[in-house]
Structure 1
């Protein structure tokens, strides 16, 4: 299975453009009080420019989703919502993780077009007008893709690219070098609403929707302020979610491992028999006990762990617990129709 290949739009002879949409920017936030003032300043200016250029219709807004922050993030969001009509906020009752916070924003806020991005200003805001151009030319989903990873460390760059290729090899449809900076039309959002995944991996879920897609490339900037909310542990957890949520290939590997262990056991038995018959170096009982015990014990534990991971997903999915709870909202975008 190859990586997702989006439609390539030809703007030399564009079709009739769609009217300017109501644009909603969705930004999950977790302890982002250090970067939020600059993010708000830039986004408010961007929204004014988009409306002035006719790319966004009146009513477009910025929606911060506070994912249970423990600092002053929600206080700042409420202040900005009172100061700027274009700023709105959604507060979750507790920390639910980046993917659930992002899903909450996508399924809650209004708008003809929803653009998700991070609050740390690493996503290039100048890519948003180009994403809107692609939407107006016919795309329902527009992926913002990093043009390079030169700023990443060697480990992060190689591991990330290897992971995307691994997902494609396992049959998971993904857009290479794409995170969660994307545009989705209202029809794509309503289709996404029908998916009730407990363990979210939106990078793999969105391509399942189909629809016409396109790509916009951008240069990812360094974080403006604060620290990353995705340490190695969370990155590995998200990577594992991507594998186990979209493919049963690890379970099939267990079958292959069982066949290999059986073959290895036969070869080991032949070797031990040869040592016993043709040499005087055999240690009684060692080869027939120690090697198979360690080999089979390790394979069994690994296999049980993989099977247990899938069973845990089934168990948690059958409970059908809510993925998030909204504690409060603020801003004019919710005055008429609250979630």
Structure 2
């Protein structure tokens, strides 16, 4: 029976006291159907919840030895919490799923079938989401933009609900990224990736931890971490602005040389050019600053996260130092 593959189900949590028990039962029920084929490791990564989430997780770990729990010393952010979980699981493959069960746990069985066929990453592709139409359009636009400008293989509308093979997990353990975009990292490190379309249901309990401001931050991390296009765009805009200014200089000099300079004093022209150049430089410096800021973060050596408490782990938590 120990020859059965071990599947780690990663559940990142932050203030999910209303969903912890529901998620545990749902995942357990799914794996009860394939108990003769797979072993289960249910791995909760608590990003320093401030409600009863950790208390409930401790109770689950006390009565179920297959439940593993790590609690971070403070809120390090969703991406770091997930990457820390991947680095500490023991499974032959790991499945990440949200605690609110908006993603159907039953789909894990389909993930496992494709994994058995040789795919090292299987992602859930969201056809429909229960959210505002404007936000849905913004998400679709972002995913398509990221795929077009990225050198990595990205799948449109793929979320965090996914299966990752052990080979990819080992590559993730080597990543040293201060601002990880885990979704993009998994795709970049995959050799054979595929997806399964599904409809995402509405959240029943609790509140979403991802307001528009944080979603925008994720989008910026995804673009900057996986593409040099913004930097190249800044270069092209700067060159176009220089060419435009050079042509205007030629035009003014030509008019003056031909004796046709009958315009009034050029205060307005100078003001427009001055303000325009200031605005353009500010925009380009801002783009450059995004990359310079990340270079600064990369050269500082700090732990990716700090684990405050771990429950039911067979070994010491991965405390490899990462650039952060």
TM over 0.5: yes
In structure 1, how many angstroms separate the alpha carbons of the residues matched to 2:259 and 2:48?
70
Mean Cα displacement is larger for which, 201-210 or 222-231?
201-210
Q: Cα distance, 1:87 vs. partner?
A: 2.1
8 A contact 1:30–1:67 mirrored in 2: yes
- The count of corresponding residues between Structure 1 and Structure 2 is 312
Match of 1:74 among 39, 47, 54: 54
Residue 14 of structure 1 corresponds to which residue in structure 2? Answer: none
* Contact kept? 1:107, 1:193, Cα under 8 Å: yes
RMSD: 2.2
Which residue of structure 1 aligns with residue 280 of structure 2?
299
Deviation at 1:64, TM superposition (A): 0.7
TM-score by length of 2: 0.89
Q: Find the partner of 2:114 among 134, 154, 167.
A: 134
Q: Per the alignment, in what secondary structure is the counterpart of residue 303 of structure 2? A: coil
Separation in structure 2 between the aligned mates of residue 50 and residue 325 of structure 1, nearest angstrom: 35
The answer on whether the counterparts of 1:62 and 1:86 sit within 8 Å (CA) in structure 2 is: yes
CA–CA distance in 1 between the matches of 2:183 and 2:253? 50
**The one of 151, 162, 181 aligned to 2:130:** 151
CA distance in 1, matches of 2:132, 2:61: 37
Cα offsets for 1:101-141 (capped at 9, x unmatched): 10111001211111111111111111100101111122221
Counterpart for residue 46 of structure 1: 30
Q: Summarize the alignment of residues 1-339 of structure 1 with structure 2, pairs less than 5 Å apart.
A: 20-51=4-35, 54-57=36-39, 60-146=40-126, 148-149=127-128, 151-173=130-152, 174-266=154-246, 268=248, 270=251, 282-331=263-312, 334=313, 336-339=314-317
SS state at 1:321 partner: strand
CA offset digits 1:162-210 (Å, max 9, x no partner) = 1111112213431111111111111111122122111111221112223
Distance 2:182 2:269 in 1: 49
Query: Which structure features the higher share of strand residues?
Result: 2
Instruction: Please list the CA deviations of residues 235-257 of structure 1 after superposition, one character each: whole Å capped at 9, or x if unmatched.
Output: 00010011111222111112211
Report the CA distance between 1:279 and its aligned residue: 9.1
Distance in 2 between the 1:47 and 1:93 partners? Answer: 31
CA distance in 2, matches of 1:274, 1:155: 50
Q: Give the distance between the partners of 2:31 and 2:284, measured in 1 at CA.
A: 52
Between 1 and 2, higher relative CO (CA 8 Å, sep ≥ 6) is seen in 1
- Give 1:283 shift: 4.2
**TM-score when normalising by structure 1:** 0.86
Q: 1:71 to 1:140 in 2, by over 3 A?
A: same
Change (3 A) 1:152 1:318: same
**Aligned-pair distance for 1:267?**
5.1
**1:210-242 CA distance string (max 9 Å, x none):** 322222222211112111111101100010011
SS of the residue aligned with 2:178?
A: coil
1:296: how far off?
A: 0.3
2:285 partner SS: helix
Provide the secondary structure at the position in 2 that maps to 1:50: coil
Unpaired segments ≥5 residues, structure 1: 1-18
